[in-house]
Structure 1
């Protein structure tokens, strides 16, 4: 289990903070619609499964909206990543019916991070994505899918396949819905990998 500490100096910080505000809003509205009482306490988190990464991602549920209402941002965002257990634990509240919605929800924040930092990658490795580090090659393919209505899209049928962890994307996947190939948890883990590659060092953790 690794807890990543994402502070204001991280390229991920502002994108994740806004996403967590939206996620807490979805959780609160969903709980109310299901007839449940909403009471979030310090330390409460949401566990998001990664299909490709085989990792569970724990993100904070308590605090993002309250902090934003006070016109503040947190000093640090803690995200914990741990291997998905063979027998998933029983959670207090399950949003499996919203998996596709939540995966789509994170895509604009992912795309914004990509667009903000891809100039650095191009300056370092050239404009042709085929010369980029593998994680950013895969990131490019994911970004392409997001910009094509959430479906995998390679302009050239001869473009080499790209691979990240156990995920491979290739022109043969054109038209396939991205959310059927990778989950919200995977997108969050991919963002951590992209940030580590971009900065040349591991994202700080405890």
Structure 2
């Protein structure tokens, strides 16, 4: 296994003796959004390889080549082999599934920031598209069932706060008095102005979307 992309802490320790599986299938509501997020990121990495003067140029990823995403709030390391997603797409077909291996990882030290360099704004905008589009697509179902948005189910209420933050430059903006919680994070009006990118890492977004799918499945029949 060759790790060709790490979005997280290169020093992080994790338990590689046992992996759980995080899987999105083509019938899942967020599947097109997740595939778009991943392939856009994958394409940018290929572009960097192509134009990096210290490399021999972009080369195909083998089946055993992987990308790594750290989750800060969920204390996890996610490993993804792009092969099963990219291969059908270059043949003008949509993939049937996206699958990640998930390993428990040591907590990220408080205050540790994710240093992304040129990828920071790029990843922020990809994440904004992922979360915003999912929230906007289903918010009318939630409004119909729960009325006030502060009454939404816990994961969707948290996602709503993340979506609003992403619309305000990444800063928490809670105006309705709601307190939102998810894994190791809790936000309220007192946190307005706090940058979510210090807490919510790309691996967390993938977990968040999967939990949003589970909650919306109880509300909107397939």
What's the TM-score once normalised by structure 2's chain length? 0.76
Partner-residue secondary structure (3-state), 2:23:
strand
Question: RMSD between aligned alpha carbons?
Answer: 2.5
TM superposition shift of 1:147? 1.5
Partner-residue secondary structure (3-state), 1:45:
strand
TM superposition shift of 1:187? 1.1
Partner-residue secondary structure (3-state), 2:171:
coil
Alignment of 1:88-99 (within 5 A): 96-97=116-117
Select which of 141, 152, 156 maps to 1:132.
152
Partner-residue secondary structure (3-state), 2:159:
helix
TM superposition shift of 1:143? 0.9
TM superposition shift of 1:64? 3.9
Seen in structure 2, the aligned counterparts of structure 1 residues 8 and 199 have a Cα distance that, compared at 3 Å, is same
Whole-Å separation in 1 of the counterparts to 2:143 and 2:22: 27
Whole-Å separation in 2 of the counterparts to 1:2 and 1:51: 17
Bigger relative contact order, structure 1 or 2, given CA contacts below 8 A and separation 6+? 1
Partner-residue secondary structure (3-state), 1:149:
coil
TM superposition shift of 1:45? 2.2
TM superposition shift of 1:160? 3.0
Partner-residue secondary structure (3-state), 1:26:
helix
What's the TM-score once normalised by structure 1's chain length? 0.81
Select which of 76, 85, 89 maps to 2:97.
76
Select which of 182, 197, 206 maps to 2:215.
197
Alignment correspondent of 1:92: none
Seen in structure 2, the aligned counterparts of structure 1 residues 61 and 27 have a Cα distance that, compared at 3 Å, is farther
Residues paired across the two proteins, number: 191
What 5-or-longer segments of structure 2 have no aligned partner? 1-18, 109-114
Seen in structure 2, the aligned counterparts of structure 1 residues 84 and 98 have a Cα distance that, compared at 3 Å, is farther
TM superposition shift of 1:181? 2.2
Whole-Å separation in 1 of the counterparts to 2:76 and 2:214: 17
Seen in structure 2, the aligned counterparts of structure 1 residues 116 and 153 have a Cα distance that, compared at 3 Å, is same
Seen in structure 2, the aligned counterparts of structure 1 residues 16 and 7 have a Cα distance that, compared at 3 Å, is same
Alignment correspondent of 1:35: 54
Would the aligned equivalents of 2:74 and 2:184 in 1 still touch at CA under 8 Å? yes
TM superposition shift of 1:62? 2.8
Would the aligned equivalents of 1:24 and 1:64 in 2 still touch at CA under 8 Å? no
